[in-house]
């Protein structure tokens, strides 16, 4: 039995040796998969953090690629990096920035709080690809790819850069599209008079178009807030190196590197006014997440309202009808549910949870460095992606196909006792209250009660109880 075990162990060891190579770092040798472009420090991170199986977001890795590409360009222009190495690094980093080599970035989100493992992962991949381009091992991940940089200023810069790109290119267009869909409905539904509701109880009349116009306005404010977040994230930590002092980097390195990043991305990143703040604090990330949290709250309200307005079809409000996009029940035939609204609500709930994580993470800017940056990056980018995706789905599959149930709206508003509010100036609040109570008790219209009690002349009654007029500012009848 011992002989069989020994032989099996020997065979396994030979198989491992055949599929791995030996890499070295300052701690010694490490066995790395033969086909891996990364090196020892990445492998140590893979071995040390088998926590979630969740890798860093692709856009974050791409942002690191942009930084390495721009850094090589800047270092060459400053005379710190020779031409062949600089060109090779720029080419390799450009591939990372383009989203290539995705399988070469296996580091878990839950890693070292500075994100050093992810920074070194990119450094090692870029160095290996650049060295292969040159046909030598002349490109070093620390000495050349990471020149004038530290994980402590690169990672926070990558967070700001990746989030800015996602906000500009994904979320703002998605919010704008949803806002346009809601605004279109506000125009189409402008002639539909319906009951307003406060505390979920009948209130004075409004137009369905006004209701949807309110939703569109929420989205407009959300877009403004997101754009403000992009401005907030434009100040980056690059140049502070290890602790914010800027040790080991050329004085002009940040300016030249950021100019190259801006040229490549169309952003307007600037060097932080105070590097100690930029590396120790993550207030800009919290502010950006706060904007996303606010947008999520707004979208939750919109999605919930649409569910209420569409509730029914016989026992609810049923003032609008949503597109039937899938069967709603595995047991109840013919049932259709507001599924896209519910999907939006779940996305919003996750964004709110991510904001809590980011808030806690930002509290751990201990002395000169925040030590929860990877999870903050993951939560921020996930929130942006969730909101963008949910907005696109809601606009395309729900909002554009909503129809108003005009007869239903008219029937409900006619029986609304709060129409008596329009009588205040004509017969006084107390008398109007008695009219409202009687109308509600008998389930007849306010108009009928006024006519039966002969409280107003017919011509005056028509003027005061002009339902559409009640949806505009002014005193009814005057």
What confidence score (pLDDT) does residue 1 get? Answer: 52
Q: What is the DSSP string of 66-89?
A: HHHHHHHHHHHHTTSS-HHHHHHH
What radius of gyration, in Å, describes the C-alpha atoms of the chain? 31
Query: Distance (Å, rounded) from C-alpha 297 to C-alpha 279?
Result: 30
What confidence score (pLDDT) does residue 5 get? Answer: 44
Instruction: Give the range among 14-23, 50-59, 88-97, 465-474 with minimum mean pLDDT.
Output: 14-23
What confidence score (pLDDT) does residue 18 get? Answer: 60
Same fold for the pair 2-147 and 415-471: no
Residue 417 has pLDDT above 60, yes or no: yes
Pick the closest to residue 23 from 121, 133, 146 (CA basis): 121
What confidence score (pLDDT) does residue 136 get? Answer: 85
What confidence score (pLDDT) does residue 2 get? Answer: 54
Tally of CB atoms within 10 A around 318 = 16
Task: Provide CATH code, domain 2-147.
Answer: 1.10.275.10
Query: Distance (Å, rounded) from C-alpha 298 to C-alpha 294?
Result: 6
Query: Which of 199, 234, 268, 364 is flagged as catalytic?
Result: 199
Question: pLDDT grade, residue 478 (50/70/90)?
Answer: confident
pLDDT 10s digits, 243-288? 999 999 999 999 999 999 999 999 999 999 999 999 999 999 999 9
DSSP 138: -
* pLDDT higher at 477 or 163: 163
Does the active-site annotation cover 199? yes
Query: Distance (Å, rounded) from C-alpha 478 to C-alpha 464?
Result: 8
Residue 9 has pLDDT above 60, yes or no: no
Summary mean pLDDT of the chain: 94
Q: Which residues contact 169 (CB under 8 A, 6 or more apart)?
A: none
Residue 231 has pLDDT above 60, yes or no: yes
Residue located via tokens 């909002």: 399
Pick the closest to residue 242 from 162, 160, 156 (CA basis): 156
Task: Provide CATH code, domain 415-471.
Answer: 1.10.40
Instruction: Kindly state the average pLDDT of the residues 426-442.
Output: 94
State phi, psi for 320 to the nearest 5 degrees. Answer: -135, 160
What confidence score (pLDDT) does residue 6 get? Answer: 52
CATH architecture for segment(s) 172-402: Up-down Bundle (1.20)
Instruction: Give the range among 226-235, 351-360, 371-380, 458-467 with minimum mean pLDDT.
Output: 458-467
Percentage, residues of the chain above pLDDT 70: 96
**Domain residue spans in the chain?**
2-147, 172-402, 415-471
Residue 378 has pLDDT above 70, yes or no: yes
Residue 3 has pLDDT above 60, yes or no: no
Instruction: Kindly state the average pLDDT of the residues 27-50.
Output: 96
Query: Which of 52, 245, 268, 329 is flagged as catalytic?
Result: 329
Instruction: Kindly state the average pLDDT of the residues 2-24.
Output: 60
Q: Which residues contact 332 (CB under 8 A, 6 or more apart)?
A: none
Instruction: Kindly state the average pLDDT of the residues 315-339.
Output: 93
Reduce the DSSP state of residue 215 to 3 states and report it: helix
pLDDT 10s digits, 85-123? 999 999 999 999 999 999 999 999 999 999 999 999 999
What confidence score (pLDDT) does residue 398 get? Answer: 98
Buried residues in 96-130 as b, exposed as e (16+ CB within 10 A): bbeeebeebbbbbbebbbbbbbbbbbbbbbbbbbb
What is the Cα 164 distance to its own chain's centre?
Answer: 11
Question: pLDDT grade, residue 329 (50/70/90)?
Answer: confident
DSSP 464: H
Does the active-site annotation cover 234? no
Q: What is the DSSP string of 141-178?
A: IIIIITTT--HHHHHHHHHHHHHHHHIIIIIHHHHHHH
Instruction: Give the range among 14-23, 108-117, 125-134, 467-476 with minimum mean pLDDT.
Output: 14-23
| Preceding omega of 313 cis (within 30 degrees of 0) | yes
Residue 376 has pLDDT above 50, yes or no: yes
């Amino acid at each position: 039995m011992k002989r069989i075990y020994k032989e099996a162990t020997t065979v396994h060891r030979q198989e491992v040796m055949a599929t791995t190579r030996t890499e070295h770092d300052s701690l010694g040798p490490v066995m790395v998969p033969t086909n891996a472009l990364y090196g020892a420090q990445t492998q140590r991170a893979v071995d040390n953090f088998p926590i979630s199986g969740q890798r860093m977001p692709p856009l974050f890795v791409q942002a690191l690629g942009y930084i390495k590409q721009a850094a090589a360009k800047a270092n060459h222009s400053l005379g710190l990096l020779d031409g062949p190495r600089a060109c090779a690094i720029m080419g390799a980093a450009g591939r990372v920035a383009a989203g290539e080599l995705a399988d070469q970035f296996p580091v878990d989100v839950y890693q070292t709080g500075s994100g050093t493992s992810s920074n070194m992962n990119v450094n090692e991949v870029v160095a290996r690809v650049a060295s292969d381009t040159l046909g030598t091992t002349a490109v070093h991940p620390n000495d050349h790819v990471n020149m004038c940089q530290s994980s402590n200023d690169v990672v926070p810069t990558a967070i700001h850069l990746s989030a800015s790109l996602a906000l500009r290119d994904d979320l703002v267009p998605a919010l704008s599209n949803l806002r346009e869909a809601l605004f279109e409905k506000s125009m189409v539904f402008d002639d539909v008079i319906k009951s307003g509701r406060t505390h979920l109880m009948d209130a004075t009349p409004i137009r369905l178009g006004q209701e949807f116009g309110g939703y569109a306005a929420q989205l407009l404010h959300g877009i403004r807030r997101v754009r403000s977040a992009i401005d907030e994230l434009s100040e980056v930590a690059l140049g502070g190196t290890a602790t914010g002092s800027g040790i080991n980097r050329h004085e002009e390195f940040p300016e030249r590197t950021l100019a190259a990043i801006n040229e490549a991305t169309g952003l307007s990143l600037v060097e932080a006014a105070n590097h100690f703040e930029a590396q120790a604090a993550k207030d800009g990330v919290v502010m950006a997440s706060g904007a996303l949290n606010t947008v999520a709250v707004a979208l939750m309200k919109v999605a919930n309202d649409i569910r209420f307005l569409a509730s029914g079809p016989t026992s609810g409000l049923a003032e609008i009808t949503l597109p039937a996009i899938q069967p709603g029940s595995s047991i109840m035939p013919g049932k259709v549910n507001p599924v896209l609204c519910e999907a939006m609500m779940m996305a919003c709930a996750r964004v709110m949870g991510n904001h809590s994580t980011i808030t806690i993470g930002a509290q751990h800017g201990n002395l000169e460095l925040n030590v929860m940056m990877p999870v903050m990056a993951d939560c921020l980018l996930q929130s942006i992606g969730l909101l963008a995706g949910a907005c696109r789905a809601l606009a395309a599959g729900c909002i554009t196909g909503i129809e108003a149930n005009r007869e239903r709206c008219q029937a409900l508003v006619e029986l609304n006792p709060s129409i008596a509010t329009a009588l205040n100036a004509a017969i006084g609040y107390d008398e109007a209250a008695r009219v409202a109570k009687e109308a509600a008790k008998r389930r007849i219209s306010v108009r009928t009660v006024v006519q039966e009690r002969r409280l107003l002349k017919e011509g005056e009654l028509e003027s005061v109880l002009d339902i559409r007029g009640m949806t505009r500012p002014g005193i009814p009848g005057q």
